[in-house]
Amino acid sequence: MPELTTALTVEILATGANLAFIVLLIRERILCWVFGIGGSLLSVYLFVDARLYFESLLYLFYAAMGAWGWLRWHRREEQEDNPVTTWRMSQHLSALVFGGAAALGLGLLVQNLTDAERPLVDAATTVFSFIATFMEIHKVLEGWIYWFVLNLASIWLYHDRDLDIYAVLIGIYSLLSVWGYITWRRSWLAQAQPDGA
């Protein structure tokens, strides 16, 4: 039973940190990255235990990207140049083609070489989360749409692996993704208005 208690405690702490991250991210607060790094490192333990190896890799990536995000936002805020941006359709198409191919290749490789559970879904959510995280660091508005879709897929994946607290958290993330899109879109539109307009 001690493993269950430890896992549950870690899951609760990680959930709290990850939730604080997303709320602060939506509000464009640089402190979000501190919570993101902490929550990500706690999450690695859970996903190794659940044999979701790509999810473990993903959360290690989140921790590293949290450091990059903090440094980038800090530097851009010092220069007063950290706007919300958008991608052209060609950039989204490139991301979808690259992400789909990478997810399929990784998923099939892991399916044949390991005991991973749900390797294709796990690989897809991981690869596209890499892309969405890059968008988040660069404050790309449409990243929230990517997160919304990824969150819906992750709810099923986490519930399937008995990570029900995380499944609920990701359900909340789905709603927060809508809030994030609306909030960042307001910022993006406000940036386009001349001062005093």
Q: For 122-144, what is each residue's pLDDT tens digit? A: 888 889 988 999 999 999 999 99
Bridge partners for 140 per DSSP: 85
As to burial, measured by CB atoms within 10 angstroms (0-12 exposed, 13-18 middle, 19+ buried), residue 172 is middle
Mean pLDDT within 161-188: 88
pLDDT for 92 equals: 96
Q: Using the Cα atoms of residue 98, residue 182, residue 158 and residue 160 in order, give the sign of their dihedral.
A: negative
Flag whether pLDDT at 53 surpasses 80: no
DSSP single-letter state for residue 140: B
Question: What is the residue-averaged pLDDT of the chain?
Answer: 87
pLDDT band at 196 (very low <50, low <70, confident <90, very high): very low
Is 194 a residue whose pLDDT tops 70?
Answer: no
Name 18's Cβ contacts closer than 8 Å, sequence gap at least 6: 35, 36, 39, 40, 43, 169
Predicted local confidence at residue 197, as pLDDT? 46
Mean pLDDT of 107-117: 79
By three-state DSSP, how is residue 52 classified? coil
Per the structure block, which two tokens stand in for 26? 């939506």
Q: With bands split at pLDDT 50, 70 and 90, how would you rate the model's confidence at 79?
A: confident
